[in-house]
Each structure stands twice: as C-alpha cells, then as structure tokens.
Amino acid sequence: MEEFLEGLRNFVCDDPDPSEFIGVPHNRTGIKHTDETKELCRQKSLGRRHTKETCNKMSKSRIGHPVNEETRNKIANTLCKGPYLMKHISGKEVLVYNITKWCRDNNFHHGRVMDRVTGRVTKLYRGWTGQPAKSVV
C-alpha cells in the first residue's frame, strides 16, 4: 500500500497529444447566434420560472451586497416612468420623476395615486390628481 501511495505522490503527467482532441472549441468566443437561434431560445424559455427554493437562494446570496448611491439612482431612474404632472386643488403643480419616492415622502398610497395618473379613477386623492407630463406639453 505504501508503494502505491508513493507512486501516486511522484506521478508526473505528460502533455496531452493534440491529435487526440476532437477539435471542438472549449468556448464560443467570436461565435454569434443568428436571429433565428435567438428566437428559438427565447421561445423555449418563455413561461419558465425559478422555484421558490432557487429564488430564496438567490435572495440570500445578494444579502449584504453593497450598492453605491450612484448605481441606486441609476436603477431608480431606469425603472421610473415619469415625468408626471401632479396638480393640487389649491392650484399647486409639481413635476414628479419618481412617483414612488414622491408618494413615500408625502405619505400617499402609491396605487391610489397611480389610479389617478392613469385615468382609471377621476376623483381626487387627498386633493391631488395627476397625468403623464408628456400629454401636458
């Protein structure tokens, strides 16, 4: 047994013979998918969802991951669909870019404010109504 272990410790592997390889590249550097292939991949993955267990694992892996203020603002600005023109019955008008932050700062319910902005509800919410600013111009 000792001889066998000693042989393993002293084993030296020779360089592989290139003629033994099949010729398939180990990576796809420089190879682009065609639009047809991209569409097939997209169709195949439609409707797939991560399991709850996988979602929990992904969430736990991101805990404590620092995000600097600049990145946080970029994400917020990308997700915001503003600008919105919010009008109060007193005549005050406010141009809002991040409606979620505006609602949080003014202690408003985001869903009820969005109902007014989208036009689903015409009644005022705490004296406010709103609309997308693009249609105001």
Q: Look at residue 109 and tell me if it is in a domain.
A: yes
Token pair 């019955």 in the structure block, residue: 89
The per-residue pLDDT for 137 is: 46
Q: Look at residue 123 and tell me if it is in a domain.
A: yes
Q: Look at residue 14 and tell me if it is in a domain.
A: no
Domain total for the chain?
1
The per-residue pLDDT for 23 is: 61
Going by the DSSP 8-state scheme, the letter that residue 125 receives in this structure is: B
The per-residue pLDDT for 57 is: 94
Which pair of structure tokens corresponds to residue 47?
């409707």
Q: Look at residue 49 and tell me if it is in a domain.
A: no
Round to the nearest angstrom and report the end-to-end CA distance of the chain: 87
The per-residue pLDDT for 30 is: 74
pTM over 0.85: no
Mean pLDDT by 10 residues, the chain (137 residues): 82 72 64 89 89 92 87 79 86 88 91 88 87 66
* Domain boundaries, position 98: 80-135
Q: Look at residue 48 and tell me if it is in a domain.
A: no
CATH code of 98's domain: 1.10.10.10
